[in-house]
Structure 1
Amino acid sequence: MIKKIPIYGMLLAACFGCQTQKQVSGSKSETAQEAPQKKKGDLKSYTEVITPEAKSDEGLFTTHMVGEKLYFEIPLDLLEKDMLLVSRIAGVPAGFGGGYINAGSKMNEQVVRWYKRGDHIDMKVISFENQSEEDSPIYQSVVANNFFPILFSSKVVAYTDDKKAAVIEASDLFEEEIAAINGVNPRLKKEYKIKKLDKSRSYIESAHAYPKNIEVKHVMTYEAEEPPERDQAGTITMLMNQSMILLPEEKMQPRLADDRVGWFSVKKLDYSSDELKSDEYEIIRRWKLVPKDIEAYKRGELVEPVKPIVYYLDPATPKKWRPYFKQGIEDWNKAFEKAGFKNAIVAKDPPTKEEDPEFSPEDVRYSVVRYVASTTRNAMGPSVIDPRTGEIIESDIIWYHNHLRSYRNRFMIEAGAQNPAARTLMTPESEIGEMMRMVIAHEVGHALGLPHNMKASSAYPTDSLRSPEFTQKYGLTPSIMDYARVNYVAQPGDEGVRYIRMMGPYDLYAINWGYRYLPEAESPRDEKKTLDSWILAKAGDPIYEFGSGYGGYDPQSQRESLGRDQVKASEYGLANLKKVVPNLIEWTSTDGDGYDDLEEVYRELTYMWRGYVNHVITNVGGVYETRKTADQDGVVYTAVPEEKQKKAVKFLNEHAFSTPDWLLDQEILDRIEFAGAIERVQKLQDQAVTRLLEEDRLNRMIENQQVNGEKAYTVLEMLDDVRKGIFEELYQSKKVDAYRRNLQRSYVDAAASYVQALEEKKNGNITKSDLVALMRGELEQLKRDISRRKNRVSDQLTQYHWNDLLARIEAATDLES
């Protein structure tokens, strides 16, 4: 067969102003075999440049710090070798990126090669997205339209005595503002009004060399008119880490992605395809696992891989947590056994200096679970991949210390009503340890190539989560890659129920699909028939379905949702919250301390309530997605049944739009704030109304009515049901309290915004749809109802409120009184 080779494309739009040198067509680049021709006065001797004061480190390149200058000693036999340049933030100012960008955040990843051009060494950016067969006529066009941009260029200042390596000064690569490797994107530059990089306060902090990678840390200081924190004195300073990693000489065979099984992937374009277009496809990201004994593997025996996946614990990891971290890593061996491997993934304590004097978490040969002393409440599972093949080269799991706080609080909020162990801020080690174990397992799943599978939880009947036998055997969802952290469905009295997520059958299935070695397949296309057969064998079984959770239209694919019936699950969850609130003062109070913990837990509890409400809203105008290919029977998209949508609106009227007296515990409020409860509830309810009446949802309902007719839950029916719920006081001649007045104003404002879009000639999609007519009609109906009924209640503030709503409607629609 004809071998496909990568053709290289512009990765960063000419690298944002990096100088590009013209290359003569057909000219041969200089290699290690070409002896450098020294011209008098052009070069210095090695010792003139690399003086005895140099701080040198040998590795992939030898790095030299001479004073404040950084030199790279680049072996000529490494020229034109593929290397991965990974840019990460190593230190970040408070509040940067709204708090969503943390130390360890990856900012860019690109393949580079070093080339010799006369007396210069150039670093060029390479892309492997565009491909063509080398002997195809279109190959020349792909080459011409995907020219290598030069990211950095430096003059050779010396050669080693044996003439096998060139020395260049690399300082400018890290001290100049090169958009391709810095930590401030154009959006943040605009937000913080960054003027320029201050070179006097930007410098290289360290450079280290390892056998397969180079690590450079450098400080970048920007002048900024509006930095994220006021006390930053008009500057933003961050520490960047640049990793340059040698990619494998022997390439792993890629595996084609399939969106019916969730995998992180790399996009490719094949211009020599027989298709009448460029053939777009994706390959999955995975570690290279090859059985030691292929014949035994073929016989179905479990076989160890030639090179297992090894994770070391960070030396900073507290010793009491280490067993849980190691369990979370090695839990994946169960899944790898489904793929035919034993001992495929190994967790190790950090080696001592005596055991391995060269050990460093920065060394790409070591994957490390890093324990970060930070107030960030998160954990991450990033990995470094070879974009040519999708091979994962290295991975560092990041656990931020304060993530313990997140799980402590969530356990109390969602399990406190049912589980005595959750009724304290000092969560018992057995419970918090199990949570940490499963967080690490979740992040390792990402590092193995698996994305979130938010659809997994909908595979289990909701009431099964109240069964001890079921939950202890199957967990809370079929996949640990779902967001399903605590069993909030379980009720008081459900003894023996599992509360913490765990690995499930989908995880074993996905790992087998992605990692099983297929020795007979000589190309990715050769594997496809086998891979498809595994998917088809599970088709129709919700346990093995995948959904990313993006899009916001599929109620079966949502973050933090549990069970197949989101309305029932939210009812269970809400019932538990109502039992937790009266106990929060007792559970969070410590003698001699204030009420900070009470305030934090109470605030997060309100977010849980909002989450349950959002899970229900998604059913209204919702669409189920079941990923299929053309050879499978049935459709991909199906509207949520009418009865389920009506049930969702009934829940909203009863639990989201009613005044949450259960939440407004005066004993709590009087300890944490002097005011704010009304505004807080207003924001939560306003958000619920806005989400319910959002444009995409209403348009889906209109389309569903057009397609399914009487079987559909129509927009008119929904608006009628919601209006009667939100304006219950109007129709039952009751006084309206402050919370409900705010809610009713939110409803009128949300409906009026559609009509105002027409008046202001904004949002062409809205003005050309049925939505303006619908909302105008809704406001007219509401106006008639208020006009007829407003005087039936003697409460003066309620009367003022109805008159105010009439004025708002008239102002929005230009209707006459």
Structure 2
Amino acid sequence: MKRLLPCLMLSLFFISIPVKGQKRNKKEDSKVPTNFNDATQSKDKNGIKKYSEVITKDAISDDGLFTVHKIKDEYFYEIPFDKLKKEMLWVSRISQLPQGLGGGYFNAGSKTNEQVVQWVRFQDKILLKVKSYANVADSTKAIHNSVMVNNYEPTLFAFDIKAFNTDTTAVVINVTSLFNTDVAAISGLSARLRKEYKVKKLESSLSFINGIKSFPENIEVKQDLTYSASEPPSFSDMESISLQMNQSMILLPKEPMQPRMYDPRVGFFTVSQYDYGSKELKADQKTYIRRWRLEPKDPEAYARGELVEPIKPIVYYLDPGTPENLREYIKQGIEEWQKPFETAGFKNAIIAKDAPTPEEDPEFSPEDVRYSVVRYVASTTRNATGPSVSDPRSGEIIESDIIWYHNHLRSYRNRYLLETGAANPSARTLNTPPEEIGEMMRMVIAHEVGHALGFPHNMAASYAYPVDSLRNGAFTQENGIAASIMDYARYNYVAQPEDENIRFIRQIGPYDHYATNWGYRLIPSASTMEAEKDTLNQWIRLRELDPKYKFGRQSSRFDPQSQTESVGNDPIKAGDYGLKNLKYVAQNLKSWTSDQTNDYGDLEELYGELLGVYNRYVGHVVTNIGGVYENLKTPDQVGLVYTHLNSAVQKASMDWLQENVFSTPSWLLDKDILQNIDHSGYFEELRKVQARQLDNLLSFDRIGRLIDAETTETEFYSALDMLKDLRTGIWSEVGRRTNVDIYRRNLQRSYLDRMGYLMTDEGPSPRNNDSDFERTLTFDVSASDVQTLVRGELKTLRNRLQAAKNSSINTMTRYHYDDAIARIDQVLDPGN
């Protein structure tokens, strides 16, 4: 027994160590349990080896946030214990991709996922955990425990501990398997794309880690992935999809930026949390604006109202692949925002730079999360975007990329010709002057930078200016064509040929200065976001009666004030001016295009886009009918948030539509255009244009709003009024006993099809209510007046068709009326 006792005591000593490891104290993250010490044993029973056996002399090491070791084809992270449980933002981006992926709207630089992660030790493993800030509570409150256990966070990946470093301050794991297997959360292919391209699996033999670089606050990984796919977007014979992903992991600030509470009266992108520690009798949703962290170098001077440079300005680099002739305009577009930031008290707050050359910085990469880059994409897609990455704890924007697609300028050239060509001689060409193309690009970049600064579209900005002011040269030169660059008011299509010194292209406006000041100006006296609220509210109240400072959500369905692609505060008057100009352009389109190039390709393209411009002008007037003004307010402000458009304007809008849409717009039927771009289909092209607006007018939500007006208004344009006026106009030949031509016959049949849809469809389904989009009106159609009204209109029309078909009309009209009666009978009595 005496000989056994020391052995037993020694055994108990070693057994006690792992038990202690499960009761972790505050210092545990900075040291290693004794039995894992490199000096005491070569390899323990769990497979943990000596550091020198894992990180051999062949290792190529890169110091940074973690030390990264490369040994042959394998990569190891040496994670300091003081970095465990630290919150890090993981951003997955496509670095290179095949042509056509995602229908052309994916590009080098496209973000595919963004998530907060933590590296956590569990026994002999390191877990990569995904952390959510959707539900939170103060850690000092009892409910914090309930939030944690009812919102258990998923594990993205698990790694065996391979070794501890020599001074027991860091753990070593092999991360190779994370990056050469198909991990959905960091993949470039969503479930939708996998289904679309019939992706089978990741081909491991054709997938590998391209490289890993470690920097002081971030790690950048490039991985090449090849998937087998039955229907890839390109290289179909290969039956595979290859793309390169960039995985960025950045250490989030230890102290989050002080959030600023969101106010819907000023437009900002947001992040939201449900705070279960709130004093409210429910989980309190807290919404913060997304913005960059700007802090003055001289806080005292800033507090005195002086312009002060920020400690860390916002810097955008130009993609090394940017064409030389466009770089100047891109830089100007970025730095357009310097003036609004001066309104917020910051000098040189945003700066544009060329990307460093490989000699200047061999490690520079556009995908590196440390750099914000204007990416220039060689793609036929016509678009530009301004996404950003933000800290979900506070809304702080960490990084953003502006995406510019190569062919986008062609869209702007075409729109410039179509929308301004009547009043703007320099737009009457396919070879737009370079300085005007540059000005367009400058303003598109400024618009996209606005998104990257946190600003959504403000569709009310174009409604701030009276229509006739847009014909005044001095006014447009000073104020532009809308109160914000963040509207979709691209060109001044209102100005007439006789007007002089007109500005035709949008620019930064007063709202942009106002919103930048509201979101970015520091309030030195307020040390918490709650303490800021009174001041922020006062800034809004000072401007509440001035339409230049109104924010309008991206809503073209019900609010005539907040429409895309519109200018001016009167859609009817703006539509009159716009169509007058468009008719002039149509008359001259051939001479400006095919007559100059001896080719009909541009004529065909521009005629198709001309129809789109026409549809937009018309759509602005359609929105007046059943229109509801949305003026976001707080209860301490005077007036209602929602008010219906007055009945006279709605009736005038219907008259306008009858004259400019439903009475055949013959000016669109120019045979010198049509018969040079296609052999047939002219009647169908026009029918589609008219049917689009007819369907827009006869929508459930519009009819529902007209019905709804009867519940709150004493004077209103009713659903019955609208349907009666529409029927009378579209079927005017019935009352006049005149023949119906092919275009009107097509329109009338489209009317019957749409009325049949209203009789049989159940109505719109609810959709998620995004802060940028209005909620679609949903209601029980079968219990409403909709089908009653439609049935009554169809029966009235049937009786009039029956009386008119025996009058002195031609055979085709008589056949048409017989067919219309049969169609109505089928709708009203589908059983026969």
Normalising by structure 1, what TM-score? 0.91
1:370 maps to amino acid: R
Amino acid at match of 1:125: V
The answer to whether structure 1 residue 814 and structure 2 residue 819 are counterparts is no
Aligned residue among 467, 475, 486 for 2:472 = 467
- Indicate whether 1:804 and 2:828 are aligned: no
CA RMSD between the two structures:
2.6
1:299 to 1:309, Cα distance in 2 relative to 1, 3 A: same
Judge conservation of contact 2:37–2:168 (CA < 8 Å) in 1: no
Of 317-326 and 467-476, the range deviating more from structure 2 = 317-326
Q: Structure 1 pair 158/672, CA: closer, same or farther in 2 (3 Å)?
A: farther
Q: 1:20-73: per-residue Cα shift (whole Å, max 9, x none)? A: xxxx99755952323544633714555655567766544333445555544333
8 Å Cα contact 2:104/2:380 also seen in 1: no
**Structure 1 residue 243 corresponds to structure 2 residue 244:** no
- Is 1:549–1:558's contact at 8 Å kept on the other side of the alignment? yes
Instruction: State the Cα distance separating 1:108 from its structure 2 match.
Output: 1.8
CA distance in 1, matches of 2:166, 2:142: 45
For residue 621 of structure 1, the aligned residue among 603, 619, 626 is 626
Output aligned runs, 1:28-427, within 5 Å: 30-34=28-32, 36-37=36-37, 39-40=43-44, 42-44=47-49, 49=54, 57-228=62-233, 231=236, 234-353=239-358, 355-427=360-432
Is the CA contact 1:752–1:779 (under 8 Å) kept in the aligned structure 2? Answer: no
Contact 2:556 2:623 in 1 (8 A): no
Tell me which amino acid in the other structure corresponds to 2:520.
Y
> For residues 815 and 318 of structure 1, what CA distance do their matches in structure 2 show?
62
Is the partner of 2:664 in helix, strand or coil?
A: coil
SS of the equivalent of 1:87 reads strand
Contact 2:93 2:367 in 1 (8 A): no
Name the CA distance, whole Å, in 1 between partners of 2:208 and 2:531: 51
Q: Distance in 2 between matches of 1:714 and 1:407?
A: 40
- Structure 2: how far apart are the matches of 1:416 and 1:283? 44
Aligned pair 1:771/2:776, yes or no? no
**In the alignment, what sits opposite 1:794?**
809
Q: What percent identity do the matched residue pairs reach?
A: 55
- Contact 2:68 2:214 (8 Å CA) reproduced: yes
Q: Counterparts of 2:271 and 2:658 in 1: how far apart (Å)? A: 45
Q: Is the 8 A contact 2:95 2:367 kept in 1?
A: no
Q: Would you say 1:754 and 2:758 are equivalent positions?
A: yes
Partner-residue secondary structure (3-state), 1:180:
helix
Which deviates the most, 324-333 or 223-232? 223-232
Of 741, 745, 748, the match for 1:741: 745
> For residues 585 and 325 of structure 2, what CA distance do their matches in structure 1 show?
30
Q: Does 2:577 correspond to 1:579?
A: no
| Cα distance per residue 1:520-548 (max 9 Å; x no partner) | 21110010011011111111221111112
Give the alignment's TM-score, normalised by structure 2.
0.90
Q: 3-state DSSP class of the match of 2:389?
A: strand
- Given that 2:738 and 2:809 are in contact with CA atoms closer than 8 Å, whether structure 1 keeps it comes out as no
Cα distance in 1 for residues equivalent to 2:236 and 2:676: 30
Deviation (angstroms), 1:552:
1.5
> Aligned pair 1:641/2:646, yes or no?
yes
Aligned pair 1:785/2:789, yes or no? Answer: no
Residues 63, 666 of structure 1: alpha-carbon distance in 2 compared, 3 angstrom cutoff = farther
- Number of residue pairs aligned between Structure 1 and Structure 2: 790
> How much does 1:634 deviate?
1.1
Q: SS state of the match for residue 31, structure 1?
A: helix
Match of 1:664, as an amino acid? L
Amino acid at match of 2:407: N
Ranges in structure 2 where 5+ consecutive residues have no aligned partner: 1-20, 764-777
Contact 2:459 2:554 in 1 (8 A): yes
| CA deviation after TM superposition for structure 1 residue 618, in Å | 1.0
Maintained 8 Å contact 1:581/1:663:
yes
The answer as to 2:724 corresponding to 1:720 is yes
Q: Greater CA deviation, 127-136 or 770-779?
A: 127-136
1: CA distance between counterparts of 2:684 and 2:212?
Answer: 52
Q: Is the 8 A contact 1:758 1:772 kept in 2?
A: no
Does the CA-based 8 Å contact 1:479-1:502 persist in structure 2? yes
Secondary structure class of the residue paired with 2:666: coil
Counterparts of 1:520 and 1:176, CA distance in 2: 52
Contact 1:793 1:799 in 2 (8 A): no
Instruction: State the shift of 1:172 in Å.
Output: 3.0
Alpha-carbon contact 2:32-2:168 (below 8 Å) kept: no
Q: Structure 1 residues 610 and 632 mapped into 2: Cα distance closer, same or farther (>3 Å)?
A: same
Distance 1:508 1:253 in 2: 22
SS of the counterpart of 1:701?
A: helix
2:171 is paired with a residue whose SS is: strand
- Cα 1:445–1:592 shift into 2, 3 Å: closer
SS in 1 for 2:667: coil
| Deviation digits for residues 534-570 of structure 1 (CA, Å, limit 9, x no counterpart) | 1111112211111122362111101111111112212
Could you tell me how far 1:376 is from its partner in structure 2? 2.0
Once residues 65 and 724 of structure 1 are traced to their aligned partners in structure 2, the CA distance between those partners, rounded to angstroms, is 78
Aligned: 1:454 with 2:454: no
Deviations 1:457-479 (CA, angstroms, capped at 9, x unpaired): 11111111111111111111110
What residue in structure 2 maps to residue 443 of structure 1?
448
Q: Which residue of 2 aligns with 1:732?
A: 736
Distance 1:321 1:191, change over 3 A: closer
Listed one character per residue, the Cα deviations across residues 140-182 of structure 1 (whole Å, up to 9, x for unaligned) are: 2112112221111111234444544433222332333333222
1:745 and 1:27 map into 2 onto residues whose CA distance is: 77
Looking at structure 2, the residues matched to 595 and 713 of structure 1 have their Cα atoms a distance apart, in angstroms, of: 46
In 2 relative to 1, CA 788–317 (structure 1 residues): closer, same or farther, beyond 3 Å? same
For structure 1, the 5+ residue unaligned runs are 1-23
Aligned-partner Cα distance in 1 for 2:73–2:482? 55
Give the structure 2 partner of residue 602 of structure 1.
607
Provide closer, same or farther for how the CA distance between residues 277 and 53 of structure 1 changes in structure 2, counting only shifts above 3 A.
Answer: same
SS in 2 for 1:723: helix
* Structure-2 residue corresponding to 1:665: 670
Residue type of the alignment partner of 1:269:
Y
- Please name the residue that 2:18 is paired with: none
Deviation digits for residues 664-716 of structure 1 (CA, Å, limit 9, x no counterpart): 2211222222223222222222221111111011011001023214x100111
Q: Which moved more, 1:174-183 or 1:142-151?
A: 174-183
Q: Give secondary structure in 1 for the equivalent of 2:381.
A: coil
**Structure 1 residues 105-144: Cα deviation after superposition (integer angstroms, max 9, x where no partner):** 3222110011122321111011123222233221221121
CA contact (8 A) 1:585 1:598 kept: yes
CA distance in 2, matches of 1:155, 1:172: 11
Per-residue CA deviation, residues 280-300 of structure 1 (Å, 9 max, x unaligned), is 120111111111222222222
In the alignment, is the contact (CA less than 8 A) between 2:248 and 2:368 conserved in 1?
no
How far is 1:227 from its partner? Answer: 4.6
Q: Residues 367, 573 of structure 1: CA spacing in aligned structure 2 closer, same or farther, 3 A cutoff? A: same
Letter in 1 for 2:650: Q
CA distance in 2, matches of 1:26, 1:464: 74
For 1:604, the aligned partner's letter is E
How far, CA to CA, are the matches of 1:773 and 1:800 in structure 2? 28
CA contact (8 A) 1:489 1:572 kept: yes
* Residue pair 1:757, 1:767 contacting (<8 A) in 2 also: no
- Does the 8 Å contact 2:277/2:283 carry over to 1? yes
SS of equivalent residue, structure 1 residue 712 = coil
Which is further off, 455-464 or 201-210?
201-210
- Matches of residues 436-585 of structure 1 in structure 2 within 5 Å? 436-550=441-555, 552-585=557-590
Distance 1:27 1:52, change over 3 A: closer
Structure whose CA Rg is larger = 2
